[in-house]
Structure 1
Amino acid sequence: MQFIASLLALASFVAFAAAESHTITFTNNCGRGTPMLISQTGQVLSTGGSFTSNGPSYLQTGGCGLNGDFCTTVETTLVNPTSAGAGSATDVTLIPDHEFSVTSGFGYFNGCDGTGFDCTSANCPGAFTDPTNGLIVSCEADNVDLAITFCD
């Protein structure tokens, strides 16, 4: 349980070395809402523009808390691997106080192209619904980027 809690804390940690560059892009096909990229400390890093960093993200449709509470949330850590299995990791969380709000998905590009995950309904197989389940999508490529899409 401690490992899972640590892993989830790591998933929202904003860290990258000066030699690294990871860009997150957003596509909002919902026709409403504001994409939000939030740091582990609760700082708003982006409201829709491409951003070179990482952290939890969600589409603010009016009912989300600052950390994506009450919304579908994509969590990511984008880092160059320093050893096998220590690269980038991304997931979708519906762990309460998070809940399904809009279809959300992600995919890596500029490395691990075609690797990602889509959450298209409240019954989203693969999304974390508690700290012990869910799919973490990894990428072991240096300087990988991430595209997050809402309402695809």
Structure 2
Amino acid sequence: MLAPKTAFFALFFLAAGVHAERHTVIFDNRCGRGTPMLIQGPNVLSTGGAYTSNGPLNSAIAYLQTGSCGFNGDGCTMVETTLKNPTTPGGGSSTDITLIPPHSFSVTTGFGYYNGCDNTGADCTNANCPTAFHFFNDNHVQVQCQKNDVNLVVTFCL
């Protein structure tokens, strides 16, 4: 039999695990070619299938590998994302599209949040799209979401 204090902590951690932070990234590749990539640091997290993070997903990138993209999306349109539950005001998820060199426009690309902040996102349909980073100080293109357990869909060839 568990001591009352031990039983309390066991129930507390069991309940906390049920409500643990989770985020899912899915791809909608309408191009009919290429391989969607989800990368975090040196790790390939997905090559097109849904990816679920049990906890925050920090500093991940997504792009459509058409054969001309470098491992970090060099030469292609790239989505940068951090999906995390907000612990302070403004401290939640943030996603953007980047065309800062060495990245460049390759295919129309967009993203949108779901399961929180629905209908919020951005699309980039040409090399001059105003919704993408072109310079490091284009911070206005970042799309924030301050909801718990928000998910992301990345779409290619809108």
The two structures share one fold, judged by TM-score above 0.5: yes
Aligned to 1:112: 117
1:92-151: CA deviations, max 9, x gaps? 000100000000000000000000000011111120011111500000000000000000
How many residues were matched structurally? Answer: 134
Structure 1 alignment gaps of length 5 or more: 1-17
Could you say which residue in structure 1 is the equivalent of 2:27?
A: 26
Provide the rounded CA distance (Å) in 2 between the counterparts of 1:126 and 1:30.
Answer: 21
Deviation string for 1:18-44 (max 9, x for gaps)? Answer: 7210000000000100000001x2211
SS of alignment partner, residue 42 of structure 2: coil
Higher mean C-alpha displacement, 131-140 vs 21-30? 131-140
Matches within 5 A, 1:114-133: 114-133=119-138
Q: Which SS does the other structure have where 1:66 is aligned?
A: coil
- Structure 2 stretches of 5 or more lacking a match? 1-16
Q: Normalized against structure 1, the TM-score is what?
A: 0.86
Aligned-residue identity in percent: 62
Aligned pair 1:138/2:139, yes or no?
Answer: no
Structure 1 residue 73, shift from structure 2 partner: 0.2
Letter of the structure 1 residue corresponding to residue 142 of structure 2: I
2:80 pairs with 75, 79, 104, which one? 75
* C-alpha RMSD of the superposition: 1.0
TM-score of the superposed pair, with normalisation by structure 2: 0.83
Which structure would you say has the larger Rg? 2
- The Cα of 1:56 is off from its aligned counterpart by 0.4
> 2: distance between equivalents of 1:42 and 1:30?
26
